[in-house]
Amino acid sequence: MPTKQKSGFTLIELIVTVAVMAIILAVMLANYNAGGADFRVENQTRQVMALLRKAEAFANASQKFNSQLPSGYGVSIEVNKNPVLFANFDGNKIYDVGVDGAVETLLLSAGLKISQVAPVGVLNIFYEPPKRDIYINGVSAGGASVTIADVQSSATRVLNITSHGQISIAN
């Protein structure tokens, strides 16, 4: 007597298929979240770069601040603080709260921070018109770097600045 062939899937086959799909979905979701953190860090790094370029543009245009002509403009960057674009009035090329004018403060996005500043924990990048070189912590030689990080992931970007005004982003 011929046996009747049953068509369809067994319960084991369905469970294995659903498990494989769940694993693939979990991997895709993890990569999506990591990509979002990378994007946020990259975007914030570009905003810090734009703030540096704005300081350079203000200095080169001899922009007045509160009806006064400063000796130049700069950006003060500290670990775990928001970067500040400043107008320097005392000529020391370093941001002094209460002496120099705070033109603009760049608010870091939630979950992002400046995790490292080299060569020291406080970085003053200063543009003095009409020169093209910049001053890093009052000195016209050397270079500096700023690391911006996501506090919940390993996403980071490093902003490198040379004394000749070149700015680049590294992963």
Question: What is the set of domains in the chain, with CATH numbers?
Answer: 12-170 (3.55.40.10)
- Say whether 87 sits in a helix, a strand or coil: strand
pTM: 0.79
Query: Whose CA is closest to 162, among 116, 104, 118, 96?
Result: 118
| Contact by Cβ (8 Å): 155, 38 | yes
Pick the residue with more confidence: 1 or 21? 21
> In the structure encoding, which two tokens stand for residue 94, read together?
């370093």
The contacts of residue 167 (CB under 8 Å, 6+ apart) are 49, 52, 53, 159, 160, 161
Q: How confident is the model at residue 2 (pLDDT cuts 50, 70, 90)?
A: low
Tens digits of per-residue pLDDT, 43-54?
999 999 999 999
What's the mean per-residue pLDDT of the chain? 89
pLDDT of residue 34 exceeding 70: no
